[in-house]
Structure 1
């Protein structure tokens, strides 16, 4: 589990795509301080498993499914990426519950300044917008952010200078693709409510029919 608080921006040093052994190597510092094989590190919001690490870098295998369904497939050598280690027991919970299993992608369609803040508008699918609510949480490239506005086709967030400078969001341009993960609590609540809805008993009973002359 992650919290959406980015620890550092790493740099992709190598990425290999093939039918059977795709992997990504990333230069980093902070997330390597206590790294072990098998650890989880979120890369632009995608949970990856460390399969090798050395001085100043780590490697993670990447399934073709992950490359095709996230923005990781567009990364190249030299690309900056947001990095976060899995949350340690007893650690501060600064963001919201982030699983590292993205729901899909969105496209940056507008960026505008508002005093010290910067507004980003993201266009995405109805399936993702279904779970996005104003003042709720969303993870954009692994960054825990508060939704400021929602429309039928997009949502907007407003970020402070610290977020822009400490993550890759500040480098995004209109037309760029970002990874999106909805608040998992909303998805669980919807899932839990479905059996109850399916078991609703009809208001038409034998007594009702008898009282109404049937």
Structure 2
């Protein structure tokens, strides 16, 4: 389990295609502290560490993951948000994040607001995922608060610290991001669908 508080920014050093899988090699300040078999959130996707060499670690994304996330468009040199699992005795600073991406969204607006930024993301509502005003959403593994919740889009207000320490700094209009909707909201949405 994660909390959506990004620990470090990694940089994609190498990508290797292996049949339908993609091996991703990431350099980061926490890579040398990782262990094989450890679960780490990469842009909100829980992936297993399969190799560590110095300050570079390796994970593998299977076809299912590549089809449902933005990892299929990953390029060498790009930044990746990283978060290790929450320790049982640690602080719970964000919200409950499973590391299971529900779907992707596209940035349709990015507006500077005198020291902060407002991002608007649009997603396919046919999956019945929902946001609520002032509720939680995970964007590329970052725990954020929803503003302007609508049926197929929402906005998030971003402070300078978050821009500086996550890959939101690279997100522009047209960028595709990973979304994990709030787990409580997902259960409520499922119950409502079953009732209809």
Q: Same fold (TM over 0.5)?
A: yes
Q: Deviation of residue 68 (structure 1)?
A: 1.6
CA contact (8 A) 1:106 1:125 kept: yes
Tell me the equivalent position of 2:6. 6
CA contact (8 A) 2:129 2:189 kept: no
| 1:57-114 Cα shifts (integer Å, max 9, x gaps) | 1111110111121100111111111000011111111100001100000000101112
User: Residues 129 and 113 from structure 1, CA distance in 2 versus in 1: closer, same or farther, beyond 3 angstroms?
Assistant: farther
User: Residues 109 and 91 from structure 1, CA distance in 2 versus in 1: closer, same or farther, beyond 3 angstroms?
Assistant: same
Aligned residues: 196
Tell me the equivalent position of 1:93. 92
TM-score computed with the length of structure 2 as normaliser: 0.93
State how far apart, in whole Å, the 2-side matches of 1:194 and 1:180 are.
Answer: 20
| 1:164-212 Cα shifts (integer Å, max 9, x gaps) | 00000022111000000000112234446777x59xxxxxxxxxxxxxx
Which 5+ residue runs of structure 2 have no aligned equivalent? none
Tell me the equivalent position of 1:155. 154
Q: Which has the larger radius of gyration?
A: 1
User: Secondary structure of 2:18's match?
Assistant: coil
CA RMSD, 1 decimal? 1.8
Larger deviation, residues 20-29 vs 95-104:
20-29
1:112-191 → structure 2 map (5 Å cutoff): 112-127=111-126, 130-191=129-190
Runs of 4 or more off by more than 4 Å in structure 1? 190-195
User: Secondary structure of 1:170's match?
Assistant: helix
State how far apart, in whole Å, the 2-side matches of 1:21 and 1:168 are.
Answer: 24
User: Residues 192 and 90 from structure 1, CA distance in 2 versus in 1: closer, same or farther, beyond 3 angstroms?
Assistant: farther
Q: Deviation of residue 135 (structure 1)?
A: 0.4
User: Residues 127 and 144 from structure 1, CA distance in 2 versus in 1: closer, same or farther, beyond 3 angstroms?
Assistant: farther
User: Secondary structure of 1:146's match?
Assistant: strand
Which 5+ residue runs of structure 1 have no aligned equivalent? 199-214
